Amino acid sequence: MKNKIMIGLVLLTAVFGTQAALAQCFIGGTITASPNPNLSGPNWMYTMEISWDTGNAYSLSHANLLIDPGLGTCTCQDFMDALSWDSPIGSSNGYPEPCTVNYEGFLECGGDPSIPEVSGFLLKFEPIEDEFCEPGPTGTATFTFYSNLPPVPIDEEILSVVDKHALEYCFGNMSGDFPAMACDPVSTEGASWGNLKGLFR
């Protein structure tokens, strides 16, 4: 049975806006689970891989994995207990190439202040400042987090990604697994891809 955890990935760039992009941008990714090779750590390792193309010259500012937009019964403490990660949490290719951008991970329980439409709980991926390398308008990134909770498939119609850049943003799909939370961030059977998109309009 598919877990109904609603997860969104919000990609932000340096300039904030509210118009939706139509066809020029792209965002997509997966989360895969495997036994943690570190036997002294949590039981499961979750690897999140994304790729993006803003469709213009605006670069990625930071990324958010929206793990509960406030529709369910989970608390911030539930996610604090369920998830952990190392520092840095992951990396991406950068600009000017070739270079590597490292990221710090933060659990944010009050949404993203830079995007009023994004509320609830999210995992934020913040590039570590480096004057010689930064995320570009296109790229691929890998982030890793851990949990003692086993993986369950997520409904791909609910699992979603969002790319925000300049005055535009676009939605895409993510597939894969997420830790089997005892609470259910989606409180109704009617939650859908359309419902999630509506949160960001």
Averaged over successive runs of 10 residues, the pLDDT of the chain (201 residues) comes to 51 41 69 95 96 83 79 86 97 94 94 76 90 92 96 63 56 80 55 35 30
Which pLDDT does position 97 carry in this prediction? Answer: 86
User: CA of 93: how far to CAs of 75, 83, 96, 140, 186, in Å?
Assistant: 34, 25, 9, 6, 34
pLDDT tens column, 105-116: 999 998 888 777
Q: Which of 178, 161, 199, 195 is nearest to 60 (CA)?
A: 161
Which pLDDT does position 40 carry in this prediction? Answer: 93
C-alpha triplet 135, 62, 107: angle, nearest 5°: 140
Bridge pairing between strands 160-165 and 8-13:
parallel
Q: Where are the beta strands (DSSP E) in the chain?
A: 8-13, 26-35, 44-53, 60-68, 90-93, 100-108, 121-127, 138-147, 151-153, 160-165, 168-179
Cβ contacts of 109 within 8 Å, gap of 6 or more: 76, 79, 121
Distance CA(137)–CA(56), nearest Å, equals 7
Two tokens, residue 195: 């419902």
Tell me, yes or no, if the pTM score tops 0.85. no
pLDDT tens column, 78-106: 999 999 999 999 999 999 989 999 999 99
Which pLDDT does position 172 carry in this prediction? Answer: 66
C-alpha triplet 119, 123, 124: angle, nearest 5°: 90
